[in-house]
Structures are given as C-alpha cells and as structure tokens.
C-alpha cells in the first residue's frame, strides 16, 4: 500500500536538512526562506532487522524492505490560507499526504535566521495550525452551503448525516481546534468525515529539531511543545537534524553505531521517525520469505488475512482459500520453513485470522 508523509514547518526550521537525511533525494538546504520552492519527493526504507535475520536463513536473491514516500513541502507563513507566500501550493501538497511531519525549531543559533525573528516553537506551531484550520473552515463553510437546504428541507438522510458532521467540525475549528480533535462513534459519520479530506484531520508527528547536546533528552523548547500538544492526538519526537546529517555522511554501519553511542542514542533519529510514522498510522508489517526474495509488506493493524493477501495482488484477496502462517520467532528458532512444519508450528488460518506484525505469510488462493 502506498504511503506518503509530508514534512511541513515554517521556513528555516530544518525541514530540508531532515529530508536530505531521510531520503536519497537531495533538497537544497540554505539559510533563507522559501529555499524549497517545489515539493521534493524522496523514498525512504523502513528499518526492519527481521528481514536481515531471515535472509541469513533463507539466502534469497534479494531483500525488499517496505518503503514510504516523503515530501519536503515549501515553508509556510502567515496568510497561507489566503494564498500568501507559497500558501496555495503548500496546502495542496499537504492534502495529498497520509500524515504530517511537523518540524519545529527547538534550538538557538544566531547564525540561522528565523522568519519571525526569535525562537518560539509553540508560536510556530500555532501559526501553521491556524492557517490549516482557516483553510479547513473555508472548506466546511462551502460544503455547508451545498448540503444545508437538502438536509433541512429535502429529508435526505445522507445529507442530514453529512450536515451534522460538518456542524461539529465547524464548531471545533471556530474554537481554534483542529479537525482531528473531533471524534465520531458512528461508522457512517466516520466515513462522511473521511470524505471531506480535511487538512487538520490528518495524523501529526511533531519533530522537535534540537542542537546535538539536546538530542538524547530534549530541552526547555521541547518541554514547551510537549505541554502545548498534550490534548492532541499526536506524537512527539526529538531529533537533531544536523546530527542526522553528520551520521548520513558516515560510510559504515559500525561508524554510525559508534557515533550514536557517543551521542547517548540507541538508534538514529531517522529510524525512530520512520517507526513513529508507522505507529501513528496504525501500520504493521507481514513478511514473505523464499529463495527469490525476503520482502516486507505494509498493512493496517487489525486487517484480516484476505485483506493482507490483497496487498500482494487483488487476485489473492478475491480467491483467498487459506493462509499458512509462521511466527517470526519460530522461524528463527527452527531455522527453516521445513523445520517449522516438522515441529508443527505452522498455522493454517482462514478468512477471520487477524494478521500480526512480523507474521511470515504464504497465501493459498484460487481465481
């Protein structure tokens, strides 16, 4: 399944530096606003040591990890919802993403200018929140004009349901709250809400870009952001983009690990960020393992076996018969698929089986 996350933030907060570390693409990084004019796209690999371990046992022709597309979106300023700066382009690029990586400047450096003249990540967050909320409010108000009469006079049940959803969103947005703070219990309401494609309904990962001395534990700026988002359904990650850039320059895995240890970190910020995106979107991984390849496949937590089969090919889902499942730990313990079968540890599962993260799957189907 295709996955796209957008990196957003005010100009000069470290978006492009972080993007460069995450992606093989190279966005220009410079010390002035709107250095990134076009949304730059890169593809990142989802770190998963299980693939390497399985490859040692299977000896496949290749290893194929899961991937995620990352978009470096041009910096936003006040008035973007009305088209100021690169506003219209910025908002259009956000609408196409599954999740937002909101980078906040949480470091002091007199040599790097701030578009508003001082370092205040909570203020910066509120600027972008406000612009996205204003754009969503405009979307909601335009939609209300189209469905209000039908909902009130025409007796159309679907129109009334959508109208009720719109009113709940309108009330929240007018209070300065994002659409993601509004929850719906009814499945029909949830679908109506999803169909609106609101910007502030997207899940958000706040990335606090700190100096290298704060990479392990954060600082006062990070504490302020954590307090500001405590009521949001969002996640926070501390990263030093400059440190990540230094790590990216190192050639060997051993050198990178030594660098991380010296910084007091267990893994790179880039790896932690990618994993955080997966967690934010309720995504997990199942694996197929054979002589041709060991491959990771992305699915949404809670999916059943036929849905996961459909990730490989729609025919697999349509003609699903059963799934042969090996738990990752069992595969590693016994060393081969044949040994797992002999030990009676291979599960044969039907249509109601809920696939678990790390399951090694083989689907039987008939079309």
Q: Do the beta carbons of residue 204 and residue 125 sit within 8 Å? A: no
Judge whether 45 is annotated as a binding position.
no
Per the structure, how many domains does the chain have?
Answer: 3
- With a pLDDT cut of 90, the percent of the chain lying above it is 49
Among 176, 200, 224, give the residue marking a domain's end. Answer: 200
Q: What one-character DSSP code corresponds to residue 240?
A: -
Confidence of residue 125 (pLDDT cuts 50, 70, 90): very high
Phi and psi (nearest 5°) for 166? -60, -40
Q: Are residues 191 and 208 in the same domain?
A: no
Q: Are residues 93 and 25 in the same domain?
A: yes
Q: Are residues 191 and 229 in the same domain?
A: no
Which of 40-49, 89-98, 298-307 is predicted least confidently? 89-98
Q: Are residues 262 and 318 in the same domain?
A: no
Q: What one-character DSSP code corresponds to residue 354?
A: B
Q: What counts of helices (H) and strands (E) characterise the chain?
A: 14, 12
pLDDT tens for each residue of 354-367: 999 999 999 999 97
pLDDT at residue 79 tops 90: no
Question: Can you give the pLDDT at residue 32?
Answer: 40
Could you tell me if residue 124 is inside a domain? no
Confidence (pTM): 0.81
- The parent domain of residue 172 ranges over 132-200
Judge whether 252 is annotated as a binding position.
no
CA 310, CA 315: separation in Å to the nearest integer? 7
Judge whether 12 is annotated as a binding position.
yes
Judge whether 14 is annotated as a binding position.
yes
Judge whether 13 is annotated as a binding position.
yes
Q: Return the sign of the alpha-carbon dihedral for residues 308, 314, 317, 320.
A: negative
Judge whether 15 is annotated as a binding position.
yes
Question: Token pair for residue 37?
Answer: 């004019």
């Amino acid at each position: 399944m295709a996955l796209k996350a957008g990196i957003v933030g005010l100009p000069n907060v470290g978006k492009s530096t972080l993007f460069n570390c995450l992606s093989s693409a190279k966005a220009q990084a410079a010390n002035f606003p709107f250095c990134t004019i076009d949304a730059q796209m890169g593809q990142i690999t989802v770190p998963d040591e299980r693939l390497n371990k399985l490859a040692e046992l299977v000896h496949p022709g290749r290893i194929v990890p899961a991937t995620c597309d990352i978009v470096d979106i041009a910096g936003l300023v006040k008035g973007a919802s009305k088209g100021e700066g690169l506003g219209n382009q910025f908002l259009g690029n956000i609408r196409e993403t599954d999740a937002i990586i909101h980078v906040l400047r949480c470091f002091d450096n007199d040599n790097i200018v701030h578009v508003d003249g001082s370092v205040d990540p909570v203020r910066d967050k509120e600027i972008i929140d406000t612009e996205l909320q204003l754009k969503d409010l405009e979307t909601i108000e335009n939609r209300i004009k189209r469905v209000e009469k039908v909902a009130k006079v025409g007796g159309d049940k679907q129109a009334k349901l959508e109208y009720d959803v719109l009113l709940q969103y309108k009330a929240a947005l007018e209070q300065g709250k994002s659409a993601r703070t509004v929850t719906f219990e009814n499945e029909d309401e949830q679908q109506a809400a999803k169909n609106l494609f609101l910007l502030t309904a997207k899940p958000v990962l706040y990335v606090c870009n700190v100096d290298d001395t704060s990479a392990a534990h954060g600082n006062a700026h990070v504490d302020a952001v954590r307090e500001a988002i405590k009521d949001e359904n969002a996640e926070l990650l501390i990263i030093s983009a400059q440190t990540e850039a230094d790590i990216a320059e190192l050639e060997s895995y051993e050198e990178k690990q030594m660098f991380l240890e010296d910084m007091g970190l267990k893994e790179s910020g880039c790896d932690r960020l990618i994993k955080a995106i997966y967690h934010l979107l309720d995504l997990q991984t199942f694996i197929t393992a054979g002589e041709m390849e060991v491959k990771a496949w992305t699915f949404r937590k809670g999916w059943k076996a036929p849905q996961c089969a459909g990730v490989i090919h729609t025919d697999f889902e349509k003609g699903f018969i059963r799934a042969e499942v090996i738990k990752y730990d069992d595969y590693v313990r016994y060393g081969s698929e044949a040994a797992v079968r002999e030990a009676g540890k291979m599960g044969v599962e039907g249509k109601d089986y809920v696939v678990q993260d790390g399951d090694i799957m083989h689907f039987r189907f008939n079309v």
